[in-house]
Amino acid sequence: MKNSDIDFLIKTLRIECKNFVTPSVTFLKIHGANPYMILVSTVISLRTKDEVTLKASEKLFSVAKIPNEMVKLSSSKISSIIYPAGFYKRKSEQILEMSNIIIDKYNGKVPDSISELLKLKGVGRKTANLVVSLGYGKPGICVDTHVHRISNRLGYVSTKNPEETEFALRAKLPRKYWLEYNDLLVAYGQNICKPISPKCSICKLNKICTFTTAQ
């Protein structure tokens, strides 16, 4: 994929992804989730299927939508609410710890910078970028396994891990596409460009994809 193909890529994905289910955290944002809810939902989403993340998040947010409400719950209560999300016990402890820090250090407001978000235990660059971009509408590039995989399959970047991919994309992806890049590639990765047995025969990106031409 050449740099000049990026406009075609985004235009095509915008059309194709209208037919797919919106990623869970983005769905919550569309329906009014605040930055804290984006943060918590992203934590829940790690190593958890999207449909499970959405149900667990909605159930939890029916009880607590801000840190001051969350800290009134016990770790076991949060665990029971977000089950069967992956590592639900560990995540419940993390959610409580983050909530207390946000109250004590940030006056109950989730930080709006990647550097500050990374100071929260268990928050990596993927989560920090998603909170900054979805929660606050600031430029950020959230790179999960889908974004990392597809960006490399297309030949747009050549990187070994998601963190390398993020910085490679920051260097070459036009800033106007930063906020939507994650949503588009996640949806496409869940439905077409899957990790195993990607549906190359029906993919609309065949003509620019190095993965397809290499087969």
| Residue at a domain's end among 121, 136, 151 | 136
Q: Give tens-digit pLDDT for 31-79.
A: 999 999 999 999 999 989 999 999 999 999 999 999 999 999 999 999 9
* Structural domain count of the chain: 2
Stretch 136-163: mean pLDDT:
96
Structure token pair of residue 68:
């001051």
The verdict on 157 and 127 lying in the same domain is no
The verdict on 93 and 125 lying in the same domain is yes
Q: How far apart are CA 166 and CA 180, in angstroms?
A: 14
Structure token pair of residue 99:
């909530």
Stretch 14-41: mean pLDDT:
96
Residue by residue, DSSP assigns 63-87 as T-SSHHHHTTS-HHHHHHHHTTSTT
Q: Of 41, 46, 7, 51, whose CA–CA distance to 174 is shortest? A: 7
Q: Of 137, 135, 129, 125, whose CA–CA distance to 182 is shortest? A: 129
pLDDT at 99 over 80: yes
The verdict on 123 and 56 lying in the same domain is yes
Which pLDDT score, from 0 to 100, does residue 215 have? Answer: 62
Decide if 59 contacts 51 (C-beta within 8 A).
no
The verdict on 97 and 190 lying in the same domain is no
Decide if 188 contacts 12 (C-beta within 8 A).
no
Q: Give tens-digit pLDDT for 169-208.
A: 999 999 999 999 999 999 999 999 999 999 999 999 999 9
pLDDT at 214 over 90: no
**What does the radius of gyration of the chain's CA atoms come to, in whole angstroms?**
18
Q: How far apart are CA 170 and CA 196, in angstroms?
A: 27
Entry pTM: 0.91
pLDDT at 108 over 70: yes
Structure token pair of residue 106:
């940030």
Residue indicated by tokens 């804290």: 36
Question: For residue 124, what are the domain limits?
Answer: 24-136
Q: Which pLDDT band, with edges at 50, 70 and 90, does 122 fall under?
A: confident
The verdict on 152 and 68 lying in the same domain is no
Structure token pair of residue 204:
């609309």
pLDDT at 121 over 90: no
Decide if 56 contacts 85 (C-beta within 8 A).
yes
pLDDT at 210 over 80: yes
Residue indicated by tokens 């001051």: 68
Which pLDDT score, from 0 to 100, does residue 27 have? Answer: 95
The verdict on 53 and 116 lying in the same domain is yes
> What percent of the chain stands above pLDDT 70?
98
